[in-house]
Amino acid sequence: MPHPHHTPPEAAPARPAGGLTARSGEPLLLRACRREPVERTPVWLMRQAGRYLPEYRAVRDAVGFMELCKTPRLAAEVMIATVQRLGVDAAIIFSDLLPLLEPMGLDLEFAQGEGPVIHNPVRAPADVDRVLELTDVDRLGFVMDVVRATRAGLDESIPVIGFAGAPFTLAGYCIEGGTSKAWLHTKSLMYRHESAWHDLMGKIARAVSRYLVAQIEAGAQVVQVFDSWVGCLSPHDYRRYVLDHSRAAIAAAAQRVPVIHFATGNPALLPLLREAGGSVIGIDWRIDLDRAWEMVGHDRAVQGNLDPAVLLADRDTVRRCTREVLQRAAGRPGHIFNLGHGILPQTPVENVLELVAAVKEG
C-alpha cells in the first residue's frame, strides 16, 4: 500500500484484468450476481482494507478513521492498493455505515478505543421527531467522491461496490448510542412504541435509498446493504418491524445495479432477506452454504461464507475450509466467495493470500 501522500488514484497502475476475459466482456462479479456461468468463482472480502494489514495501520497512525473516510484521495488509495495486493475481484469503497446519520441530526464520534458513539441517542418517541429527513445527500458528497476516485484508479475488470447500513442496524446505533450485545434500548422502543419505531425506520430507509442511488450515480456497479445486528430478532419480529423498511431501502437501487443483502446472526432470517430484496443474499458462517442456498432459493445468487476465524488457523486449514465452501456451492452459477463477516484484525496477511489463491484454483 502506498504512503497516503503518494500516487493519486487516477495515476495508480492498473491491475491486470484477472477478472475479465476476452470472451466474457464483463467482470466475474457482475456475471455471478446475475447467476451467469463464470470461469471461476469471484472472491472479495468484507473489511479487506483493515487493521490486519500493516500498510493500513501505518496510514491510520497518521490519519484518524473519520478523517480517512472523509479524504477521498486517501480512502480510494487505501482500497486500490489493497485490491492490488490481495488480487481480489472487487473493491468495496472505504467508508463506514454511520456517516449517513450525521446529516440526519445524530451527533457521531469515533472515540479512540471505543468505536462509534452517538451522543444524542433516540430513546423515546419524542426523540424520533428530531431525526431529520434526508432530502439530499450533499453533506455526504465525500462518499461519492470516494466512489469516483476508486473507480478511476482501478482496471475495468474490478467492479466498485458501494454500501450502506440497513435500516434496523442504523436504527440500533441511533437508539443504543453505539454498539450493544443485547440491543435492549432498541427492542424496548420497537416493542413499546411501534408507531414511533416505524416513523424512525421509515426516515432511515428513505435516507438509505437516496444514499445508495447517489453512490450508483457516482460509479458504483454493485451495492451491499449490511444488516449487521438484525440477527438479534426472530423471524416474526423481522417481518413485523423490519421487512417493509428494508425492502423500501433496497428497491430503487435494485432497479439499477445488483444489490447484495447481507445479515448476520440468525440463518432463520434468510427467506425473509430474500423477500425484502437483493439479487444476491449474503450468508454468514452459522449455516452451511448449500443449506442456506436452499433456504434462499436457487434463483438468487449467494455470497459467503467462510468463518473469519478460520483465517487465524494454519494455511492448510485455510485452504481446506475454503475448498469446503466451494464444494458446497457445487459449481452452481451465482456464488460469490466471501467471509461470513469482516476480516478479524489479528488475521495474518499470508492467510488471506492463501484464501484468495485457493478460490482462484477452484
CATH value at residue 105: 3.20.20.210
Spot the catalytic one: 40, 47, 286, 328: 47
Rounded CA gap, 161 and 36, in Å? 19
Spot the catalytic one: 34, 51, 274, 328: 51
Q: Which residue has the cell 490519519?
A: 63
Total number of domains constituting the chain: 1
Specify if 5 maps to a domain.
Answer: no
Specify if 211 maps to a domain.
Answer: yes
Helix (H, G, I), strand (E, B) or coil at 128: helix
Specify if 10 maps to a domain.
Answer: no
pLDDT attached to residue 110:
87
Spot the catalytic one: 35, 89, 148, 173: 173
Specify if 13 maps to a domain.
Answer: no
- Whether 319 is a known active-site residue: answer no
Sign of torsion over alpha carbons 308, 78, 146, 117: positive
User: Which pTM does this prediction carry?
Assistant: 0.92
Spot the catalytic one: 34, 73, 96, 286: 96
Q: Answer with the residue of higher pLDDT: 330 or 112.
A: 330
Rounded CA gap, 33 and 21, in Å? 17
- Whether 60 is a known active-site residue: answer yes
* pLDDT digit string, tens, across residues 156-202: 999 999 999 999 999 999 999 999 999 999 999 999 999 999 999 99
Rounded CA gap, 196 and 129, in Å? 9
Confidence of residue 24 (pLDDT cuts 50, 70, 90): low
Specify if 21 maps to a domain.
Answer: no
- Whether 96 is a known active-site residue: answer yes
- Whether 47 is a known active-site residue: answer yes
Q: Mean pLDDT across the chain, nearest whole number?
A: 93
Structural domain range at position 356: 31-361
Residue 333 CB-half CA count within 13 A: 13
Rounded CA gap, 36 and 255, in Å? 18
